[in-house]
Structure 1
Amino acid sequence: MANAYLDHHLALLTHLRGILMALGEAEQVADDTHALFLERYDELLSDLPGDPEGSQYLGQDLISQIFHRYPQIAHLVPRDLLWFFGGDCLHFMPDEEIALYQRLEERRFEAEENDEPFDWNQEKQLLTLPQDSAKH
């Protein structure tokens, strides 16, 4: 897995952790298991760089749990993380969005095969432009 791709998702996970921390500090968490959840989240952050494939199931579980445990912040979960972890996380994405990410992933693999640079965010923006605006 390319470092830039992994680094992008680690940055998103770190950002999401900040949101989870703020949620706990604002005392908007109903139960006492929030600290345990953050411990598991930190485990994901530390394990993911060394074992991206082995961390997939924990990532799927934690991201899915956010939607169930913290519905008030579900809209703040970066969509890239849903795609990155896949599995049950894809249930939170509409079909059109999954199709967009599939095209994006195909472009990423093609760039890697051709030893070309690939900017995930830039490519995602290009794919989400209306068809008419690409002609201008």
Structure 2
Amino acid sequence: MFTLTVRDHLMVAHSLPDPFFGPAQGLHGATFVVEAGFERAGLDEHNVVLDIGAATEALSAVLGRLSYRNLDEVEEFAGVLTTTEYLARWVAERLVESVDTTGLSAVEVVLREHPDAWASFRLALPA
């Protein structure tokens, strides 16, 4: 299995209004290092998983939809707890909409909220 991974970052504000989240219930900022991995069993006719430039541009465009925004004010997230795990899935789903997935078997997104804490979501693609 081959994987191509590109990385970017995302800065947002949000709140997690549930007692479960303690002090994170209030409005706070979050900076994520975002890694997007694209998997395929074999290389394509160009001997790549996916063009690095295309992968980088797709990740940048997806993150640009949220960058420097208060997620509490984004209509798409109304009533949603925008946890790190949830955002990892959201980014993965948007990436699949943004790149040619021909031959890809999965897309995995890792959001690193802190050097010691991160979450990921792996989206398997149909063969």
What TM-score do you get using the length of structure 1 for normalisation?
0.28
Higher strand share: 2
**Rg (Cα) greater in structure:** 1
Higher helix share: 1
What TM-score do you get using the length of structure 2 for normalisation?
0.30
